[in-house]
Amino acid sequence: MIPADLGPWCQSPSLREEVDLERIGAYRGLGEVFTEVLEIAGEHTSIAGRTCEGLPLVRVDLPGEESDGPVALVIGGIHAMEFIGVEVALALLRQLVRERGRRRVVLFPLLNPEGYLRAETDLRAGRRRFVRSNSVGVDLNRNWPTHWRTTRLPQRILTFLGSAGSAPLSEPEVAMVVEAMAPVAAERRLERALSLHSFGNKLLVPYGGRWRRPLGSDAHDGHALEVRARLRDRYHLTTPARWVPGLFAYGMELDHFHAWGADPLLVECSSGGLSLTDPASWLHPFRWFNPPDPTRQAAELAVALVPFLQG
């Protein structure tokens, strides 16, 4: 049954109609994301939990060949302003519905609806503000148990980056995913796990919280290189810890995916929308993270990522 309380959200005015998105790109508001999920996935859609502010955490379950067979996990929109990641999650969902595969797919297309709604509200109001965290200022990608550490000095100074939370899993968004997927991982059925971010044209493999590479890193690299070979744009393979040497990312989903025994991949989708020849983009954080052609970029990434999930 379609969750009834998504209904009012689906009546929200279109972001495209209210904001001149010609140069920003044709992105969706929160209600439009929910509408799109329901249109694509219908009865496979459910509400898996609520944020602190009561916003729904939407989940889609697409069956595989066997009900208790292998599983692939997809997370989009863990960081508020990275709308292109949500568009890629929706494009993936469209493809996965058409081409059922061996694995059951569990997809959380927008894990940070509070942050997403803040970024959307800013766009509608014409405000240019960097938004990354949830409503209580926690970076949801520093709140996972693996390699978690209390908020580091750079984040304490640059508070807009968000804190790590008071403890691992302190945030309902992350706790919900872990509660849902940990039993699947314990049965060794979680085979693939993908998270969609932006920007930087990067394919990231573990670790974020350690310099050394983990067991299985050759296989992780192999999967990422296969994805890269299917992409028209140039993507660079690295680990979060080595992206900027000396800057570790503790408590990431990517490291937790690995701890679960899944083949993990984080995609920094696109190179964003910052253009040196367009001064209007220089001080517009939304544009830094989101390319002006989301439809093309999302479709190409989805084609490249389906075999990672189902191959």
Look up residue 115 and give its amino acid. Answer: G
Q: Closest approach of Cβ 195 to Zn ion, in Å? A: 8
**Interface stretch with Zn ion, choices 38-46, 60-68, 145-153, 195-203 (CB under 5 A):** 195-203
Q: Closest approach of Cβ 289 to Zn ion, in Å? A: 8
* Sign of the CA dihedral with 89 first, then 90, 91, and 95 last: positive
Question: Which residue's CB is nearer to Zn ion, number 12 or number 146?
Answer: 146
Q: What is the rounded distance in angstroms from the CA atom of residue 198 to the CA atom of residue 108? A: 16
Q: Closest approach of Cβ 20 to Zn ion, in Å? A: 26
Question: Which residue's CB is nearer to Zn ion, number 82 or number 122?
Answer: 82
**Residue 197 sits in the site that holds Zn ion (CB under 5 A):** yes
Alpha carbon 108 to chain centroid, angstroms:
8
Q: CA–CA distance from 89 to each of 68, 225, 241, 267 (Å)?
A: 24, 20, 25, 11
Go through 33-71 and write b for each residue having 16 or more CB atoms within 10 A of its CB, e for each that does not. bbbbbbebbeebbbebbebeeebbbbbbbbebeeeeebb
**Residue 79 sits in the site that holds Zn ion (CB under 5 A):** yes
Name the one residue in this structure whose structure tokens are 């939407």: 58
Q: What is the rounded distance in angstroms from the CA atom of residue 112 to the CA atom of residue 86? A: 10
Alpha-carbon torsion angle 42, 48, 51, 53, nearest 10: 60
Q: Closest approach of Cβ 292 to Zn ion, in Å? A: 19
Q: Closest approach of Cβ 10 to Zn ion, in Å? A: 26
Residue nearest to Zn ion (CB): 197
Q: CA–CA distance from 28 to each of 112, 126, 164, 198 (Å)?
A: 15, 16, 28, 16
Question: Which residue's CB is nearer to Zn ion, number 79 or number 284?
Answer: 79
**Interface stretch with Zn ion, choices 79-87, 109-117, 122-130, 274-282 (CB under 5 A):** 79-87
**Residue 202 sits in the site that holds Zn ion (CB under 5 A):** no
Q: Closest approach of Cβ 76 to Zn ion, in Å? A: 10
Q: Closest approach of Cβ 252 to Zn ion, in Å? A: 10
Question: Which residue's CB is nearer to Zn ion, number 62 or number 75?
Answer: 75
Q: CA–CA distance from 156 to each of 131, 162, 171 (Å)?
A: 16, 8, 18
Question: Which residue's CB is nearer to Zn ion, number 44 or number 79?
Answer: 79
Question: Which residue's CB is nearer to Zn ion, number 71 or number 92?
Answer: 92
> 3-state class of 75 per DSSP?
strand
Please tell me the count of residues contacting Zn ion according to CB under 5 A: 3
Q: Which of 190, 138, 189, 209 is nearest to 167 (CA)?
A: 138
**Interface stretch with Zn ion, choices 69-77, 168-176, 190-198, 290-298 (CB under 5 A):** 190-198
**Interface stretch with Zn ion, choices 50-58, 59-67, 78-86, 158-166 (CB under 5 A):** 78-86
Which residues form the interface with Zn ion (CB under 5 A)? 79, 82, 197
